[in-house]
Structure 1
């Protein structure tokens, strides 16, 4: 962790109070000159820090700028953090990065070509959301990868609970809902090695609608935001918590002990849904019965030639809209 990030983290923990240069130098394990240099760099990035020779340094205002300092100060796990104001797609950028010994976290304030599932676009306006990708080289086989999206959804829920103090739910397999609206989508992609049958790089893309925005007509009835007004919580704190939870989850993977909790948060179980068949674009009414130990959604069809047939879906898409 850089001196800038450590300084911002310590000043944030002591928000509104002066901390002496001597105390900061001892705490951070650097010289007072290094503290002053880091404080000056933070000021240039937009942070309001008051410095007085006799009193030290004080963070005057918490501002919601997505920077490596503001996000990195909330991440405890080891990673390489890269932050953009605007990018085409954090997932695309992750694909272009060379291999790394530590996970790579890419965060953007906005995307011009955000990616959703099944080739869809993901609306990514500036200052309204968090667009975050974690890329890493996994140690597990390809057959374990379907669990990564489910575990990521649970990790995002825990971050929302701790930072935003809300109770989100999951729609199998990768959508996060709050107040009956979709507020987060997750897109997992992989670079595979056909010779070894292993994954060279796994990429987890997460898009969160934080504050109100005008959604396109085709998704206006299903898309929502976490908060009712801008600035209700710190996007930096949420981005850091999401990244930290994902990174911690990666270290435990492919442990599947998360499945019972995932089932509890999956709000479609026991309810009527629609299963979308990708091949012909049709949808069939069904009832979501359970999630099996392989992460598949067990459904019972309720209409047509498949009436009363039970199937376990390992992929695909389901919806709750009539």
Structure 2
């Protein structure tokens, strides 16, 4: 489509004027077709200005998520599906995974009406305020490697936020990203099994990031939830960096290399801290106990020291910790 090609050129030259004539010539279309494409993009929310006698300018402050914008930063070859509104990117990805698509595939939305977190919790996903991303991959590293992908996603996300946003994001075991003592990102990984082999045939890694906290107070979330709140944040760039870093780690896992666990440890905000362990969901307080988080093992498990001095490793469950 002419519209997509025009957007691609404007994304490549973000903040720089590109003449309608140059666009028309490079795309092999008429200037009228370019004009119609620009108007269609404006109607979709892209901030494109017309500089007299100079050309069209996609504002540097434009933060509309687009396939063209993400692809301009993406290193890996990934099929992108961009949506305005979905119920849940993970739910869409599960349905899409059954279609034998060309993997990896990323399902991304500006808004989720039924965003999902671990243990059936809702993930608040307001329009234009976050990143709601589900990446479908076809693992070849076996079940043990596949189980590490959630930890890999946490490392990829925390490192991408640190590099792009220059914020000290850290990982709260097992799969939450924290900033200044508040949760800014949740990760939900779901597997699809091959009934013939019993192996995981598809993995769906859902990543939800709060980019703005402007309406958290109205939802009663301001005490627990945080956000990036970075002026001039390019969500397209952050999405691309997360995908690239995650796929880099997945490629290493496929070669039997799980050295990223060292990064997981260095990014942890719980090691050395007193924690409360909930072997079952936090609503079941009868079985909770206190411990000290001391290490992350090679399988992503949390090693804790109990009050009697003994050690145990958590592979499931949840913890709470005083982070500040």
The TM-score bracket by the shorter chain reads 0.7 to 0.9
Secondary structure in structure 2 of the residue aligned to 1:207: strand
Structure 2 match to 1:226: 228
What 5-or-longer segments of structure 2 have no aligned partner? none
User: 1: distance between equivalents of 2:9 and 2:252?
Assistant: 30
Cα distance, 1:248 vs structure 2: 3.4
Contact (CA 8 Å) 2:191, 2:200: kept in 1 or not?
A: yes
Structure 2 match to 1:184: 185
Cα distance, 1:271 vs structure 2: 1.1
Cα distance, 1:205 vs structure 2: 0.4
Cα distance, 1:162 vs structure 2: 2.3
Contact (CA 8 Å) 1:99, 1:137: kept in 2 or not?
A: no
Structure 1 match to 2:246: 246
Structure 1 match to 2:236: 236
Cα distance, 1:128 vs structure 2: 1.5
Structure 2 match to 1:209: 210
In the superposition, relative to structure 1, how do residues 312 and 162 fare at CA in structure 2: closer, same or farther (>3 Å)?
same
Structure 2 match to 1:45: 44
Cα distance, 1:144 vs structure 2: 1.5
User: 2: distance between equivalents of 1:73 and 1:25?
Assistant: 21
CA offset digits 1:57-102 (Å, max 9, x no partner): 4334532222333333332321111122211100000011112222
> Which range moves more in the overlay, 74-83 or 256-265?
74-83
Contact (CA 8 Å) 2:106, 2:135: kept in 1 or not?
A: yes
User: 1: distance between equivalents of 2:128 and 2:159?
Assistant: 22
Contact (CA 8 Å) 1:8, 1:69: kept in 2 or not?
A: no
Cα distance, 1:274 vs structure 2: 1.0
Matches within 5 A, 1:1-322: 3-4=5-6, 6-12=8-14, 15-18=15-18, 21-22=21-22, 30-31=27-28, 33=30, 36=34, 39=38, 42-49=41-48, 55-60=54-59, 62-97=61-96, 98-212=99-213, 213-214=215-216, 216-217=219-220, 220-227=222-229, 231-254=231-254, 255-278=257-280, 281=285, 282-302=287-307, 307-321=308-322
Q: What is the number of equivalent residue pairs in this alignment? A: 310
**TM-score, structure 2 as length reference:** 0.84
**TM-score, structure 1 as length reference:** 0.85
In the superposition, relative to structure 1, how do residues 118 and 321 fare at CA in structure 2: closer, same or farther (>3 Å)?
farther
CA offset digits 1:243-288 (Å, max 9, x no partner): 3333333333343121111111112111111111118543211001
Cα distance, 1:226 vs structure 2: 1.4
Cα distance, 1:289 vs structure 2: 0.8
Q: CA RMSD in A?
A: 2.8
In the superposition, relative to structure 1, how do residues 60 and 87 fare at CA in structure 2: closer, same or farther (>3 Å)?
closer
In the superposition, relative to structure 1, how do residues 142 and 33 fare at CA in structure 2: closer, same or farther (>3 Å)?
farther
User: 2: distance between equivalents of 1:253 and 1:72?
Assistant: 24
Contact (CA 8 Å) 2:10, 2:57: kept in 1 or not?
A: no
User: 2: distance between equivalents of 1:312 and 1:128?
Assistant: 37
Secondary structure in structure 2 of the residue aligned to 1:253: helix
Cα distance, 1:39 vs structure 2: 4.9
Cα distance, 1:197 vs structure 2: 2.2
